[in-house]
Amino acid sequence: MTEIRTDWTREEIATLFDLPFTELLFQAATAHRTYHKPDEVQLCTLLSIKTGGCPEDCGYCSQSVHADSGVEATKLMDVRAVLQSAAQAKDAGSQRFCMGAAWRNPKDRDMPAIVEIVKGVASMGMETCMTLGMLTPKQADMLAEAGLDYYNHNIDSSPEYYEKAISTRKMQDRLDTLGEVRRAGINVCSGGIIGMGETREDRVGFVHTLSTLEQHPESVPVNALVPVKGTVLGDMLADTPMAKIDDIEFVRTVAVARITMPKSMVRLSAGRESMSEATQALCFMAGANSIFTGDKLLTAPNAGDDSDAALFARLGLKALAGEEPLRAEKALEGVE
């Protein structure tokens, strides 16, 4: 049985990254099969319910007011429009509906509409996930009372690299929000971005930060940077070898995340549309068991439903139908 640990050291994680590739995948696949069905992958859909105009200066983000990316700021979507999109996602086979708003933090005046959206999506029988920026204790409680299943707040990278990519808030701000989410009883979704110009040591630090939280995130999205012209990182990495992370290194990161957080859902997120089918297959072998479907992720392109269905057919994969391990455990604890 693969042990659940929250006392990983950076040295141990670095050793995992350094394993021969085939040995690393074997260990990751073994950990994966201990808690998950190897032929099941969770289907999720992500919708931007409020796009652009974010005051944060995240160097990777096209929705920042500091980026010259051409993304226009919009107001919060109408509740009915969001619920219509959720219904379409459910019809396409998605289990979880994730909604993102480009805010530093939501304003209290926006919370009634957000609560209505959460309740509406949940009433369809879908899992709900929101990413709205930093939260106050009151806002976290409101989301919990509305029945929000997951709150996404990525740590992005290692504590050391974080301050190189973002200056308008600190890593501790992110961790504080995750703490409020956990306190309110909402499941945590937190991951990061690979390929921002960070080093292997930073990827070790990224996994270490998540795997040593008091409780592992129920979901760990692993993104490959989509360099967007007009963003700090997009312009910095343009036309350089660093503009695209090495596929093997990306798979290694997925595998190490799976080994260190064996019960979590590890999601292939942004950047998947630029990966070959072979690379995606290696990620699934390494323990990735969740993807975003549809042809758009917030403002970035994504592999479409049809191409995903074709890939699943070729690999013999099917959509996850049951509960995720950590969430199922919570439900049992609630009964007891």
Residues of each annotated binding site for [4Fe-4S] cluster: 54, 58, 61
Is 44 annotated as catalytic?
Answer: no
Catalytic residue among 129, 169, 174, 283: 129
Catalytic residue among 96, 169, 174, 189: 189
Q: Which residues participate in the annotated binding site for [2Fe-2S] cluster?
A: 98, 129, 189, 267
Is 109 annotated as catalytic?
Answer: no
**The pair of three-digit structure tokens given for residue 73, joined into one six-digit string:** 């700021």
What span, in angstroms and rounded, lies between the C-alpha atoms of 285 and 254?
10
Angle in degrees, 0-180, between the axes of helices 247-260 and 10-18, rounded to the nearest 10: 130
Q: Which residues participate in the annotated binding site?
A: 54, 58, 61, 98, 129, 189, 267
Is 98 annotated as catalytic?
Answer: yes
Catalytic residue among 5, 10, 44, 58: 58
Phi-psi map region of 202: left, alpha, beta (phi>0 left; psi -120 to 50 alpha): alpha
Catalytic residue among 44, 54, 96, 272: 54
**Residue bearing tokens 């942004």:** 270
Catalytic residue among 267, 272, 283, 327: 267
Q: Where are the beta strands (DSSP E) in the chain?
A: 40-50, 96-101, 127-131, 150-152, 187-189, 192-194, 219-224, 265-268, 290-293, 296-297, 300-301, 318-319
Phi and psi torsions of 86, nearest 5°? -65, -40
Is 258 annotated as catalytic?
Answer: no
- Cα 36 to the chain's mean position, in Å? 18
**The pair of three-digit structure tokens given for residue 126, joined into one six-digit string:** 């879908």
**Residue bearing tokens 């808030």:** 169
Is 104 annotated as catalytic?
Answer: no
Catalytic residue among 96, 98, 203, 272: 98
Catalytic residue numbers, as ranges: 54, 58, 61, 98, 129, 189, 267
